[in-house]
A and B are shown apart, each in its own frame.
Chain A
Amino acid sequence: MATNPPPPSERASEIIQKLPSSPNLITKTGTALLGVGAAATAISQELYVVNEETIVLIASIMVFTYIGKVIQEPYSQWAEGHIQRIKKVLNDARAEHTGAVQERIDSVGQMKDVVSVTENLFALSKETAKLEAENFVQLQKVTLASELKSVLDSWVRYEQHVKESEQADLTKTVIEKVVAALKDEKTQKDILTSAITEVEQLVKSKAI
């Protein structure tokens, strides 16, 4: 022989390895041996009678096994697909619900400062109202002042006008009087006399 048989010690350990042991109490070899042995014993002891029902038994086992093998895989796939579909629907619903809850939490979270913000806004609005009131008062004052100024200005203009008018009248009167006086011969004579007197004085004084 080309290959040497294993040494006896190795062979013995192999056999020991094959012996049934817990948890693999029943090995395939053991089951086959036990099955054949039990069947042989049952038949020989007439515990089991081989008859036409045995044919039905064998045929049934073959048919059931065949049907089982043929159906098992497609059925498993179909059922698994169905289960996965149900799981998907449930998981999607859960995810959707979680999303909705998270969204709600976020939206509520966004409003967590709403009290302080509202208080600040209220204070700000109070401040604004106060400022607006002050502004109104100032505006009123400004309006009043401008009104007063315009009244005073117009008064000043009136006064000035009156004064100008009086001056014009005075000037006119003076000019008229002077013109009237100049028309008077006595006055003309007096003026001439005074003028000659002045010229003489100037000559005397050798001013000219």
Chain B
Amino acid sequence: MTNLFIQSPLSQFEVVNLIGVNAPILGNLHLNLTNLGLYASFVLFIILGLHIYGNNDSRLIPNKWSISLESSYQSLNTMVREQIGSQSERYFPFIYSLFFFILIGNLISNVPYSFAITASGVVSLGLSFTIFIGVTILALSIHKLKFFAFFIPAGTPLNLVPLLVLIELVSYLARAVSLGVRLFANLTAGHTLLKILSTYLFKLFSGSLFIAILTLIPFAIFLALVGLEIAVSLIQAFVFTLLVCSYLRDAIELH
């Protein structure tokens, strides 16, 4: 008799300890390497590796990897320049790093048996909140008290000001959540869908030969969804950085 054990589709997003060190020193030292930490390290090493290899020993003539990196650099630079404007150079390294972190994190999550760090609320919401706080501090440091004019749209009647300030404030605060949730929800939804569908497909493939052959039709759709997930990985990385650029522009220019 076989025991059928089906995990929850969301269990793939659980952060678990892989290696841990517990020592009764330094206030009961407790160090753990989680799957999140491991994959974040993978992301770091892959990004570093890509750029070191793409550097092509600092040769003047690039190789094919360098071309792809240079092309990405140029596309991102164009985007940042268009969004932020004259001060874009100052923020470009941050946007570039952010884009590659999210992109590689998303793409790694498409590898089977891997862990999706960007589908983790801690990472995506942590990123978005950090960026939100940073952008707000930036806006306050640039505009001082005039920053609060951001919450009053131009030409607002005086009696509507309290209401509009409230609405604008909520809308502004919602950015912190929406930025992270957009990334987190897209990745989670995609991976969960693939997990659920693969569970069904596995069951169908495990049946009789006839059903297994028929299952090739939904499997073709599944293949398309895997392709779509790769596209989503790219699009979400782009959307995240584009929105960060937009928030930075708001902070610099105030409307």
Contacts and interface: CB of A to CB of B under 8 A. Distances in A.
B205 A55 contact: yes
B222 A55 contact: yes
Contacts, number: 60
B254 interface: no
B20 interface: no
A83 B113 CA distance: 37
A44 B126 CA distance: 44
A63 B227 CA distance: 6
A75 B61 CA distance: 17
A56 B226 CA distance: 8
Contacts of A54: 202
A104 interface: no
Q: Do most interface residues of chain B lie in helix, strand or loop, or is the interface mixed? A: helix
Contacts of B202: 51-52, 54-55
Contacts of B60: 86, 90
Interface in A61-99: 62-63, 67, 75-76, 78-80, 82-83, 86-87, 90
A184 interface: no
B67 A83 contact: yes
A153 to B, nearest CB: 93
Given A57-B112, A57-B113, A60-B112, A90 B198 contact: no
A59 interface: yes
A44 to B, nearest CB: 16
Dominant secondary structure at the A interface = helix
A78 B62 CA distance: 13
A113 interface: no
Size class of the B contact interface (CB-based, 8 Å): 20 to 34
Given A52-B195, A56-B198, A59-B223, A83 B110 contact: no
Interface of A: 51-57, 59-60, 62-63, 67, 75-76, 78-80, 82-83, 86-87, 90
Nearest to B195: A52
B194 interface: yes
Given A53-B198, A55-B222, A82 B111 contact: no
Contacts of A82: 62, 67
Contact of A53 (B63, B113, B222): B113
Given A52-B195, A62-B223, A79 B68 contact: yes
B219 interface: yes
